[in-house]
Amino acid sequence: MEQKYIRNFSIIAHIDHGKSTLADRILELTETVEQREMKEQLLDTMDLERERGITIKLNAVQLQYTALNGKTYIFHLIDTPGHVDFTYEVSRSLAACEGAVLVVDAAQGIEAQTLANVYLALDNDLEILPVINKIDLPSAQPDVVKKEIEDVIGLDASCAPLISAKNGLHIRDVLEDIVANVPAPKGDPNAPLQALVFDSVYDAYRGVIAFVRVKEGRIRVGDKVRFMASDAEYEVLECGVRTPKEVKKDSLECGEVGWLCASIKSIQDVRVGDTITNVEYPASAPLHGYREMNPMVYCGLYPIDSAKYNDLRDALEKLQLNDASLQFEAETSQALGFGFRCGFLGLLHMDVVQERIEREYHIDLIATAPSVVYHAYLTDGSMLAIDNPSLLPDVQKIDHIEEPFVKASIMTPKEYVGAIMELCQRKRGNYTDMVYIDDTRMNLIYELPLGEIVYDFFDKLKSCTKGYASFDYELIGYQPNKLAKMDILLNGEVVDALSSIVHREFAYPRGRAICEKLKKLIPKQQFEIPIQAAINGKIIARADIKSLRKNVLAKCYGGDISRKKKLLEKQKEGKKRMKAVGSVEVPQEAFMAVLSMDDES
Ligand SMILES: Nc1nc2c(ncn2[C@@H]2O[C@H](COP(=O)(O)OP(=O)(O)OP(=O)(O)O)[C@@H](O)[C@H]2O)c(=O)[nH]1
């Protein structure tokens, strides 16, 4: 296929505006997938994605489209996630494309991630094609949304296709728009090979499979290639595309998007963002990689069964291959033993990683409360970056502590402005600006401490605006604040995994709320357990768990042994997610208790 007939594009949108549904319709219309194999959101291949109805991973497929001009084109479609935690996946997909189809919901209009994704696409110099979706809805206002696109983003939306991805209306207009307006890949097929690695996965039989976009030159089976960042060299054993079934090919040509495997067993050799070149005919320089993503939240992950420590390391390494924004390093906790401190882009990301480890690698985990990275300036002039509150040095050694702040942009219908301002105030936010998007909607700009918003801000925002507000944020730097470490003592002993960093003015109510919450979460045991919150060794709150042995057999006065066994099994099951901390059995939820304190404080 000649290069001028190739089109590489992504579909970008705010969450739930209909990207995956549009991708489904495109696969159907191009007969890439046979009708009997078609199912909803076909590209969301992970069980987790299907259950939660969200896209987590990017996904690339090749399809053929015969346009109204009679010519057949090769499309590479990359479906991307919409949630802010997975922006990294989006930016990687975009680097492999020339164009982006921007899906906007005709009833909701532009939302925070619509804008964030547009900026990412502009950063990558992509041609952006606006498409207005869900025109079948009675509340659809395509003309209002077109005007919004023009006023807020500055894109000409006069010819934007008006579609219903759900009902398959006007999907061909989108494909014709792509043919006409997404530029064909540039690249020189005879130049030295430069292929961008934009994703990779580990396959138990074939080793690492790298997903690449060939920017210059071509890759053939049998070629010796080098990963330029790691300097590792391999012979290409297989390459091909996905349609979405895996199809093997003899070569990947200039401009194409596909996969290759080379029996790569060492995970470290393949880095997302690296460039592959040919060993015999090498390129002089790698392509532009990606901006390094710094995790926003950290938490400790510990195997419940400590014998699974090495399995957990293995699982994290393999996941990292598929999820370049995940970071981890070994750590030990007095309470929980050996584990890993892991960095994530947000709480949804953390949740997804945890669940993937449990499902795909069968390791039961205890996760400690997430924390952002604080900067502790010490009296000797040095600075410590603290991603684990329990590691904060003694208060005498600390001059001051700074916390990360973000600039948040919140788009909302006018009537919720008051409720949002109240929420931001409660989260220690500083009002910056407020602009009209149109007659009915506003964009509120606040500076907020990251530590206050990563946890439940999004949920709170949704509930106080009935789901109508959307939200995006970027890190703007660190600001000093009156912060201190709050320790939690169980039975008189500090449990390092329960320490958190709090604002001093909120310390008393928070300490009280945590103690009360832990009292509810930690099951009664044979002895009384005092729970205390302390700042700098000074106890600020206390609650006691009364002693009681729960005898699950009490009701079983009959002699039915099988029933007794069943009850004991059930009790054991309940204990699976417990960790013995000193003499106290602590359930997983207790480690998360510090998160949902807002209501009580
Ligand atoms: N009425 C109507 N609903 C639609 C249309 N397109 C998509 N939807 C619905 O909107 C919801 C979200 O669609 P998805 O395709 O999952 O949205 P997405 O943008 O891919 O969402 P993420 O993958 O989570 O980022 C689903 O319930 C779809 O059935 C449409 O044209 N009309």
Which 8-state DSSP code applies to residue 264?
A: B
21, 114, 170: residue to mutate for ligand 1 pocket, most atoms within 8 A of CB: 21
pLDDT means per 10 residues, the chain with 601 residues, are 89 87 88 62 55 57 91 87 64 85 94 84 91 96 93 90 95 96 94 90 86 94 93 94 87 93 86 89 83 79 90 90 82 87 85 86 86 93 91 90 92 91 92 88 92 80 82 88 91 87 86 88 84 91 80 57 65 60 77 60 38
Which 8-state DSSP code applies to residue 333?
A: E
Cα dist from 578 to 189, 512, 571, 594, whole Å: 58, 23, 11, 17
Q: Distance between CA atoms of 27 and 43, rounded to whole angstroms?
A: 10
Is the C-beta atom of 325 inside 6 A of ligand 1? no
Q: What is the pLDDT of residue 37?
A: 60
Is the C-beta atom of 133 inside 6 A of ligand 1? yes
Q: Distance between CA atoms of 591 and 336, rounded to whole angstroms?
A: 11
Is the C-beta atom of 271 inside 6 A of ligand 1? no
Predicted confidence (pLDDT) per residue in 230-258, tens digit:
899 999 999 999 887 888 999 999 999 99
CB 181 within 8 Å of CB 129 = yes
Is the C-beta atom of 137 inside 6 A of ligand 1? yes
Superfamily of 194-278 according to CATH: Translation factors (2.40.30.10)
Q: Which atom of ligand 1 is nearest to the CA of 23?
A: 15
Same fold, 375-481 and 485-600: yes
Which 8-state DSSP code applies to residue 505?
A: G
14, 16, 77: residue to mutate for ligand 1 pocket, most atoms within 8 A of CB: 16
Q: Is 20 annotated as a binding residue?
A: yes
Sequence ranges of the domains in the chain: 3-181, 194-278, 297-367, 375-481, 485-600
Q: Is 18 annotated as a binding residue?
A: yes
Q: Is 472 annotated as a binding residue?
A: no
ipTM: 0.97
> What is the assigned CATH class of domain 3-181?
alpha beta
Q: Distance between CA atoms of 214 and 219, rounded to whole angstroms?
A: 8
* H/E run at residue 448: strand 441-449
Cβ atoms within 10 Å of 27's Cβ, excluding its own: 21
Is the C-beta atom of 134 inside 6 A of ligand 1? yes
Is the C-beta atom of 146 inside 6 A of ligand 1? no
CB 388 within 8 Å of CB 371 = yes
Q: Which residues neighbour 519 within 8 Å (Cβ) at sequence distance 6 or greater?
A: 531, 543, 544, 545
Helix, strand or coil, per DSSP, at residue 385: strand
Q: Note if the pTM is more than 0.90.
A: no
Q: Distance between CA atoms of 67 and 264, rounded to whole angstroms?
A: 39
Helix, strand or coil, per DSSP, at residue 69: coil
Is the C-beta atom of 18 inside 6 A of ligand 1? yes
Cα 16 to averaged position of ligand 1 atoms, centre (Å): 5
Q: Is 249 annotated as a binding residue?
A: no
Tokens of 351: 């949740």
Q: Is 16 annotated as a binding residue?
A: yes
Q: Is 136 annotated as a binding residue?
A: yes
Which fold does the domain 485-600 belong to in CATH? Alpha-Beta Plaits (3.30.70)
Which fold does the domain 297-367 belong to in CATH? Alpha-Beta Plaits (3.30.70)
Give domain 375-481's CATH number out of 3.40.50.1370, 3.30.70.240, 3.30.465.10, 3.30.565.10: 3.30.70.240
Q: Which atom of ligand 1 is nearest to the CA of 21?
A: 15
Predicted confidence (pLDDT) per residue in 8-61, tens digit:
999 988 888 998 889 889 888 887 666 656 556 555 555 655 555 555 455 778
Q: Which residues neighbour 85 within 8 Å (Cβ) at sequence distance 6 or greater?
A: 344, 345, 346, 347, 348, 349
Which residue has a Cα nearest atom 27 of ligand 1? 16
Q: Which residues neighbour 394 within 8 Å (Cβ) at sequence distance 6 or greater?
A: none
Cα 74 to averaged position of ligand 1 atoms, centre (Å): 25
